[in-house]
Amino acid sequence: MEETFHLSHLSPLSPFSSLSPTSDIILSDIMSLAGRTGQLIFSALMQDSRYHALGLVRTESSAKKLIKEVQCGLENIWVCDVTQLNEQNNDGLPKGINEAEAMIICTSAVPVMRKRSLAKAFLKIPFNVLRGQKAFDFRSLEFYYKPGQHPEIVDYEGQLKQIDLAKQLGVSHIVLVSSMGATDPDDFLNALGKNKNGEGHGDILIWKRKAEKYLVDSGLQYTIIHPGGLKNSPGGEMNLHLDVDDKLKANKIRTISRCDVARLGVAALSQSNGKSTSFDCVNAEIPEGSRRKSADTSLREFMASEMMYDYSDMDEIVEDYSI
């Protein structure tokens, strides 16, 4: 459901780093079903001698699994449900967390498919083929969110509590992994969790965008990453195309490897140079005769372009979806 990372005890960083040589990084809910990207970031931080990471997981079973898969110690794990964070109560905060200088948030609600809708979709395949239609219609599937784990609670309230905790701890930089497509309220992802009448808990991209706006207005340095469709393919095999305002949805390639998103998340810690930014990202073909650009180079070039993500529509959305 949620993911967050803290970094501590860093060795000297690159000239572009906005972190001191001794900082902590917090990364939240790395082992949930939605936590594959977060786990990749955590693993990368654990293997990078510049960083010491503290990974937040929601359950003890997730903590045990993470320790086994990433081969980290108990000192790198914090078991906590971010939706239950209380900024007025510091009991249970891990030792050394007050030294954190950066936080990486990968929180996301996870829709669950209704098995009956999947069965119906398969039964319709022969009829769809006879009619010359697409054999399997993904959009005919129905999804729901488990109680207390829908987007408003996880992607909005949970993220706000993490941002407030970061301010309380004196964290200077938040990296937020969100999602591309949030400029379009009619995006299909917003329908997940709703019935045919549009009722129910959904609007995941809208709640994510509301949380982004809260971060933008928080006064903290931020890096907001909007990945396109996430793929479990190996990273480092294609270039990265960064842009703003969902313009990349018009690209032929609208997906990105989770590994490449993880690389961008780590790159944000050393390449932001104290500046805030928000961007979309997808993979792109490497031009013939060229070398693949690293995540560090791609992010540095994007920030040099001074392109700005437009949040001017958020006043209307905040009014419509106030809580």
Structural contact between residues 3 and 53, judged by C-beta atoms closer than 8 angstroms? no
CA distance 261 to 235: 9
Alpha-carbon torsion angle 149, 151, 153, 157, nearest 10: 150
Catalytic residue, chosen from 179, 257, 270, 278, is 179
CA distance 298 to 260: 11
The candidate with the shortest Cα–Cα distance to 143, out of 80, 72, 85, 193, is 193
Annotated catalytic residue 172: no
DSSP codes of every residue in 87-144: TT--TTPPTTGGGEEEEEE------EE-HHHHHHHHHTHHHHHHTTS-SS-GGG--EE
Q: Any residues with CB less than 8 A from the CB of 62 and at least 6 apart, and which?
A: 29, 30, 31, 32, 35, 79
Structural contact between residues 39 and 68, judged by C-beta atoms closer than 8 angstroms? no
CA distances from 315 to 81, 127, 244, 321 (A): 29, 46, 19, 10
Secondary structure of the chain: what % helix, strand, coil (to 5)?
40, 20, 45
What amino acid positions are annotated as catalytic residues?
179
